[in-house]
Structure 1
Amino acid sequence: MRFNLTPTPTTATTMGTTTVASPTDTSTQPLKRPPIETDPDSLDSVISNPKSYPITIVPNRPTSFYGLSSTNGKAFQRQPSCRSRNFRPGSMRRIRRRAVFKNGDCNVVQKHLQRRRVRFLQDMYTTMVDWQWRWTLLAFALSFILSWLFFALIWWLIIYTHGDLEELHLPDNQEESGWAPCVSAIDGFTSCFLFSIETQHTIGYGVRTTSPECPEAIFMMCFQSIYGVMSSAFMAGIVFAKMTRAKQRAQTLLFSKHAVICQRDGCLSLMFRVGDMRKSHIIGAGVRAQLIRTRSTKEGEVMTQYFTELEIGTDDSGSDLFFIWPMVIEHKIDENSPLYNMNATDMLQDKFEIVVILEGTVESTGQSTQARSSYINTEILWGHRFDPVVLYNKDLQAYEIDYGRFNETTQVDTPLCSARELNEIYKIQEGFRTPVETTFTMRQLSHNHSDQAS
């Protein structure tokens, strides 16, 4: 437990003489005030000058003491460090590194991968789906243009070797010379290129046709027709996959700009809001949250990216959502929470990141989708709660969602101490009531026992 005690002089009577103990006397001061930071907006400065800030006391808190001394077991006076204030990061906000950006993209750069290009070429379909649109459209166009040119060259070689391009064998002289060409109406590379396009896409204008004079021409016509169907299906599948992939659906799933910490039913809770702007819902929606921070093991190993799963839910439905309107997701900061020992100051100073993941099935396409976002410590508002955005409209006779207030919060009185310290306060508060209740119970039991004996 963290205490910030203000030194107060104490009196002691020795041999009939009253002496006043110095405030610097360590024998009567179990704890010392930590040094105050020079930043006027820092938490210690706020605590040291409470008159200049709106500070209120948490209701139902013991009025006589805050905790017990580790030296003499006596009660301390209430500590200003556990007073509540509408706390929001100000001048202490700094740019911190993060693993997941607000739009869901992962901030990861891969280096020194062996055979990277070979491995990517082995999975060409996924590689092309992951390409940006300009590269996909460029590959789409080049796949057809290059194939037309390649097969046009093959057709030109077949026709050239057969002698169809000689002067007497050209289309204008074939009737006089009686020449039977491999492909009719071919007089150069341009006509071969047009015939290649007509064959690959089965356009069939009816002017250029193959003849039984060249078996190689018949084989090439069959091969190019099969290739045209396969290439068209492959490229159309890539474009369709890019247009319908789950990443595009995730762009319409919303996360609140900030997360908040406030009290719910006497316990500190971390909350953030999620929403869906489309009318087609997410089926089987579920939400998860993980804390990324640095952790040291007992053996001295420092784990800089240590993941801890956070237990989250909404109302009493758990992590499974009936996702028809924006919902506030809550993480109760209890004994099992990694945030249990963090107070408002620790929340600003510690380096951590909370990654939130929303998953489900798209109702219109049946594909699985995943939306991600994250909150670093400076994006968590201590002493705030979200404003309601779902209201019933009597004129429309329907629930109305105001997305203009999706990120709006309201300041509420919240203790600056950690959840562990707050629980100790409530335990001490219950301890005051226990002796009275116990005495009453023992007397009642004794009275009842006497009545039964008589």
Structure 2
Amino acid sequence: MARGFKKRIQQKNTDNSGFGASASGRFINKDGLPNVKRKGINVLNRLSWYHTMLNLSSFRFISYLVLMYIFINIIFAFIYYLIGVEHLTGIDKSDPVNEFIDVFFFSSQTFTTVGYGRIAPVGFTASLVATFEAFLGLLTFAIATGLFYGRFSRPRAYLRFSDIAVIAPFQDVTALMFRLAPYKNNALTDADVTLSTAIEITENETTKINFYRLETQLSKINTLALNWTVVHKIDENSPFYGFSADDFKNTNIEMIVHVRAFDEVFSNTVVQRSSYVSDEIIHGAQFIPMYYPDFDGQSTILDLDKINEYKKVSLPVADPDKQ
């Protein structure tokens, strides 16, 4: 953050955000993970491969498994080729390319413990490598099965946040709003939201980051079935009280969102986070409704394509005597 806000904010600074005043950049990425880089420890201890594989998208997860499977079999194919194709029965010795292809498919059959029988190892060295590869294949598929189960059974909120937040009219003043909606057919109940904001403040020629708790008009709902527009009223109790459109634009702000709900299927609490920075806050805008009755009036359509749609609106004129 590089731009400081020079007006004095009356609300008390809070220090329970988990981030220090010396932190820089975005605190929470759009995917909900902290924007933190760790040093002072080697990469093997710094990175949890299990958490990494569980957090990957489905496409990247499957792609990594396929690439790893191909890579391992290429390595073993080179090992068999270096040992000599004469130590593998059933190899087509017409040319090196066909020989390597046959060795590769023998490796894949050994790795998966399929063993069709056309090609078989001959001699101690080739048999030893094939035995080790079959053992490695069993371990690898056991790990892959565990990861598949972990990804399949892992409780997740499956919430989609709007890409932008808006400053909209609300109860004769203005409010900071964003919205979220479930995009899967999971049943979420007792959902609650916690908001905090980081604002860069300039006082006595010194720039620092202060954290504030943001009160919401509705912090908890019984059932999260449709979209939920979270509203923070900008009044005397808000750290944004007195902010103009230029203040929102020129001040480094990050609003951190923490949503917690109970998933009835998993019988477990699920959590999802997101954040909004200054460039993602649109002043003088209002969200367009994203759900409407079905054509027969028997159900409700939740149109997730409309989660970011808004219209420009005029805001109430602030009373300068109150700022």
Q: Normalising TM by the smaller chain, what interval?
A: 0.5 to 0.7
CA distance in 2, matches of 1:404, 1:127: 29
1:421 paired to 2:307: no
Match of 1:381 among 245, 267, 283: 283
> Secondary structure, in 3 states, of the residue corresponding to 1:309?
strand
TM-score, length-scaled by structure 2 = 0.63
1:201 paired to 2:112: yes
**How far apart are 1:292 and its partner, in Å?**
1.6
1:308 paired to 2:212: yes
Q: Is the 8 A contact 1:262 1:270 kept in 2?
A: no
Match of 1:229 among 124, 138, 144: 138
Q: 1:330 to 1:402 in 2, by over 3 A?
A: same
Higher relative contact order (CA 8 A, sep 6+): 2
Match of 1:99 among 22, 26, 45: 26
Matches within 5 A, 1:8-87: none
Higher share of residues assigned strand: 2
**How far apart are 1:341 and its partner, in Å?**
4.1
User: 2:68 corresponds to which residue?
Assistant: 139
User: 1:8 corresponds to which residue?
Assistant: none
Q: Is the 8 A contact 2:168 2:315 kept in 1?
A: no
Larger radius of gyration: 1
**How far apart are 1:142 and its partner, in Å?**
0.6
User: 2:45 corresponds to which residue?
Assistant: 119
> Secondary structure, in 3 states, of the residue corresponding to 2:255?
strand
CA distance in 2, matches of 1:100, 1:256: 16
Q: Is the 8 A contact 2:33 2:273 kept in 1?
A: no
**How far apart are 1:311 and its partner, in Å?**
1.9
1:33-71: per-residue Cα shift (whole Å, max 9, x none)? xxxxxxxxxxxxxxxxxxxxxxxxxxxxxxxxxxxxxxx
RMSD (Å) for aligned C-alpha atoms: 4.9
Q: Match for 1:271: what amino acid?
A: M
User: 2:166 corresponds to which residue?
Assistant: 259
Q: Could you tell me which runs of 5 or more consecutive residues in structure 2 were left unpaired when the two chains were aligned.
A: 1-23, 94-98
Between the aligned residues of both structures, percent identity stands at 19
Match of 2:175 among 258, 265, 269: 269
1:280-339: per-residue Cα shift (whole Å, max 9, x none)? 4445543332212123689x86423x332212243xxx2346211122211133444212
CA distance in 2, matches of 1:140, 1:417: 67
Match of 1:286 among 192, 197, 203: 192
CA distance in 2, matches of 1:106, 1:199: 40
CA distance in 1, matches of 2:279, 2:106: 65
> Secondary structure, in 3 states, of the residue corresponding to 1:374?
strand
> Secondary structure, in 3 states, of the residue corresponding to 2:241?
coil
CA distance in 1, matches of 2:228, 2:114: 55
User: 1:352 corresponds to which residue?
Assistant: 253
CA distance in 2, matches of 1:367, 1:141: 38
User: 2:240 corresponds to which residue?
Assistant: 339
Q: Match for 1:261: what amino acid?
A: A
Q: Is the 8 A contact 2:248 2:278 kept in 1?
A: no
> Secondary structure, in 3 states, of the residue corresponding to 1:231?
helix
**How far apart are 1:230 and its partner, in Å?**
0.9
Count of residue pairs brought into register by the alignment: 288
> Secondary structure, in 3 states, of the residue corresponding to 2:239?
coil
> Secondary structure, in 3 states, of the residue corresponding to 1:322?
strand
User: 1:411 corresponds to which residue?
Assistant: 313
CA distance in 2, matches of 1:98, 1:219: 53
TM-score, length-scaled by structure 1 = 0.48
Q: Could you tell me which runs of 5 or more consecutive residues in structure 1 were left unpaired when the two chains were aligned.
A: 1-96, 166-182, 423-454
